Structures are given as C-alpha cells and as structure tokens.
Amino acid sequence: MKLRSHTLLTLISGALCSALAAVGQPTPIAPYTVSVFATGVPNMYTQPDSIAVSRDGIFIGYGNGVCKDGTCPGASSTIVQYSTKGTVIKIYSVPGHNDGLKAEPKTHRIWALQNEDGLPNLVIIDSRKGTQTPYSFGPTPHGGGYDDIAFIHDDDQEHETDDEIASRDVFLSASNPLNNPNISPAIVRGHLNQDGTVSVSPVLLGNATATDVTTGGSVTLNLQDPDSMIFDPSGDLVLDSQADSELIIVHNPGSEDNDQSVLRLGLANTSEQVDDTVFATSSHGLILVSDRDANAKTGVVYTITNPEFAPGAAYTAGLTSVGKLDFHTGVITPVVTGMVSPHGMAFIGRERER
C-alpha cells in the first residue's frame, strides 16, 4: 500500500512527538531557567525520585524500576551521593524500592524508606562512616507501606553520641491503604527501637475531619493516596494525598495537648496530581527536581533557578510540570513545562553572592 505524502509526514511527526515525550523537553517560563544536574546511568541506576540535602552533599534515590510492594526477591534501589556540582561521591544499595529519602537535621544521617506499597523497610546511612543500619516494621495498620519521612521539630532532643543512633521519633506517611473509605492511619509516628524495629502509633486518620481552605466548611477526609510530606515555614505538616488531588495541612501534629487541627487544600485543577512540594527558604537558591521517567525511564535530575525567589513560596511537582502553588486557592502556576514525570524535589538556599 502506498502512503500519501501528508499521511507519511503525519506518522513521522507522531512518532517524533512520542519519542520527544519519552525523553522530555523541559521548558522554563521566564524568569526561571532549567539545566541538567545529574542523569541516571543505564544498567547501574535509573528512575530518580526523592532528593535529600545534607552537609555532606546531595543524595538522590534511584528506584531502578523495581516493584514497590517488597515482593521482588533480591531487588534493590540505589542511593547516589553527589557533590553540589553533580559529581558522584559514593553509591549505596538498599533493599526494595526507595521512595522516601530525608536527611536527619541533627546528625545529617540519611534515612532511606523502601516499599511504599507493602512490606516496608528503613535504612539509615551514615555517609561519613560509610555505614548502613537496617530497620524493619511489623504489619502495617493500614495494610500498605510507608512513603515519606518528616522529622519532628524538637530543639531539646539530643542524640547520645555520634557512634550510635539514639531512639528517634519521626512522622511517616502511611501509603497504599487497603480500604476505601480509609479509616486507618494516614500519618503515623515512628519510633526507632534498639532491637532494629520501628514501632508506630497513629497521628492522623484517613477519615479525619478537616476544614476546607477555600470554602471554610467542615469535610470528612478519605485519604486514598498519602504520599509526600514536608513542614511548611509555619511549622505545620503538609501531606500530599496524590491521587485525591489534595494537600492536608496538620497543625500541631501528634500534639499531646489534643490541639491538633487539620486543613484540606484541594487543587483548583482537580485533574492535576502533585508529588513533592518544597518551600523557598531564601530569596537566592535553586530547586532540584527529578524527572523520573525522562530519557526513556533512565531519568534526569534538573536544576531550576530564578533571579530571586520569594521566601516561603511553595513549588510543587505536577503531572508534567513544576509549578508555584498558591496555598490559599490551590492554583498551580507552571514555571517549567514539558517534563515526563516529575517527582522528588528539594530547595537549596544560598546567600547573595558578593
């Protein structure tokens, strides 16, 4: 069969667009700029996701395409430690699919949380000593795994020595709940035990009562996809319930005085979903964002810059873009478009150069 010329051109154009979509062509919107910080390496580490920043460098978790429920024997993810220039310093392997990755603010150890859909485990990396300490969980109260970590603000808490990890309480997002409606915990408090296990207790239930930010009305939550977490500049814990297209803001999370309160921010575009959200901590700095499936799922980590950020401004990873999020309206204004699958983010502040 002979193809007409315009039909052939249409087929070629469609194939080219599909190929470009798989690679990703991030396009910044002025005054933002975008550049490559790091890329995955085929047959070594691929599909970057979470990003953690510590005094010892930048750590990026590569999921390597392994299953997320802990049922793949021998499967592992890769945690790559980079310099601020993107040079590889050291490579670590952790069992399962890494998603949550955070730097503990006092010791600067890296907490790597695996298997967000089931059979979770935790590995704590001391990059200065090159050691890895594994922790296990018992059966999860919600039936799934754990996705992200947020460290409890407690300036009075001190670690005993640099030679051991003292018991530490953290918040964990309870992902992939088995029930709908979700009446199980969506956020738990995790406690490290000396026997290498993590015990958990509920902080926020999946069907908690919340106040809707845009309407002021009372709503009953049904959190079906608890995902990323971060503390906002006011000290409130922000949880992304990804598939529900909403963010949950928890004031005084886990308070012993019973004064915890909850807000719900629905995204203005209800077909949008977001992953990581970060807040600008200074007027000068940069955003790192992982495009997990770019470059045919090898993955690319990008640097986003702006001549001047507004301190406290929120930026979030959408389906194919990174945008500035209005916490009053749920409107996301894109700053970089044309990505394949943005996920992990981090903001790195710096003083004005002189």
Residue 101 · residue 50 · CB < 8 Å: yes
Give the residue with greater pLDDT, 169 vs 51: 51
> What pLDDT does 17 receive?
45
Judge whether 82 lies within some domain. no
Answer yes or no: is pLDDT of 310 > 60.
Answer: yes
15 pLDDT band, cuts 50/70/90, is very low
Assess if residue 337 is contained within a domain. Answer: yes
Judged by average pLDDT, the poorest of 10-24, 58-72, 238-252 is: 10-24
Which of the pair, 1 or 283, is modelled with greater confidence? 283
Distances (CA, A) of 113 to 61, 148, 279, 346: 10, 7, 22, 17
Provide the pLDDT confidence category of residue 167 given band limits of 50, 70 and 90.
low
CA angle 285–287–293, rounded 5-degree value = 165
Average pLDDT value for residue range 195-206: 97
Q: Whole domain around residue 342: which residue ranges?
A: 277-286+302-354
pLDDT of residue 257: 80
203 pLDDT band, cuts 50/70/90, is very high
In a domain, 141, yes or no: no
CA-CA-CA-CA torsion sign (145, 148, 153, 159): positive
**Strand ranges in 138-217 using DSSP code E only, listed in sequence order:** 145-151, 169-175, 185-192, 197-205, 209-212
Please report, in angstroms and rounded to a whole number, the separation of the first and last CA atoms in the chain. 68
Q: How confident is the model at residue 164 (pLDDT cuts 50, 70, 90)?
A: very low
What's the pTM value of the predicted model, to 2 decimals? 0.91
Decide if 125 contacts 104 (C-beta within 8 A).
Answer: no
Alpha helices in 189-301 (DSSP H): 294-297
pLDDT tens-place string over residues 74-122: 999 999 999 999 999 999 999 999 999 999 998 999 999 999 999 999 9
Q: Is the pLDDT score of 18 beyond 90? A: no
Residue 198 domain flag: no
Asked whether residue 194 carries a pLDDT value surpassing 80, the answer given is yes
* Encoded amino acid at 222, one letter: N
Burial class (CB in 10 A: 0-12, 13-18, 19+), 78: buried
Q: Comparing C-alpha atoms, which of 277, 275, 282 is closest to residue 315? A: 277
Q: Is residue 311, in this structure, part of any structural domain at all?
A: yes
| Residues with Cβ within 8 Å of residue 312, at least 6 apart in sequence | 233, 279, 280
Is 83 a domain residue?
no
CA atoms within 13 A on the CB side of 222: 4
Count of domains observed in the chain: 1
The answer to whether residue 148 sits within a structural domain is no
% of residues, the chain, pLDDT over 90: 85
- d(C-alpha 224, C-alpha 242), whole Å: 8
Q: Is the separation of the CB atoms in 314 and 1 below 8 Å? A: no
270 lies in some domain: no
Which residue is associated with the tokens 């001047």?
Answer: 308
